[in-house]
Amino acid sequence: MSIVNVQGKELCAENLDDEVSNNIKTAFAEIHRLGVIHGDIRKQNIMVKEDKSVVVLDFESSIYHENLSDDMIRDENEVIQRVLKEVKRGKSGSPRLAEKTEE
């Protein structure tokens, strides 16, 4: 386990704009490109720095897969979209992949 000091704030409605949203999607696209599924996407695991860059935290639930399937990536991207929508609405929920619900 490593501890890193990250200067930033937890993702919230006040710091979520289009640039931050795009930076979050880009960060997770890179994580997926490396073969990793995060597995615990929630606002508490995304820090927004002053320059609007983002840091993804808590990879304890993550898995490495040599060849991620499109379904695995699509499922996690759906969770990312739900988290972003809930943050924009000011909700504090933490949807996880296992808690996926019909919309």
- 19-63 pLDDT tens trace: 999 999 999 999 999 999 999 999 999 999 999 999 999 999 999
Q: How far apart are CA 5 and CA 10, in angstroms?
A: 13
Side-chain-side CA neighbours of residue 27 (13 Å)? 19
pLDDT classification of 1: cutoffs 50, 70, 90:
low
Model-level pTM?
0.81
Fold (topology level) of 9-97: Transferase(Phosphotransferase); domain 1 (1.10.510)
Instruction: List b or e across 40-69, with b for residues whose CB sees 16 or more CB atoms inside 10 angstroms.
Output: bbbbebbbbeeeeebebbeeeeeeeeeebe
**What pLDDT is attached to residue 80?**
96
CA distance 37 to 31: 7
Burial (CB count <10 Å: 0-12, 13-18, 19+), residue 95: buried
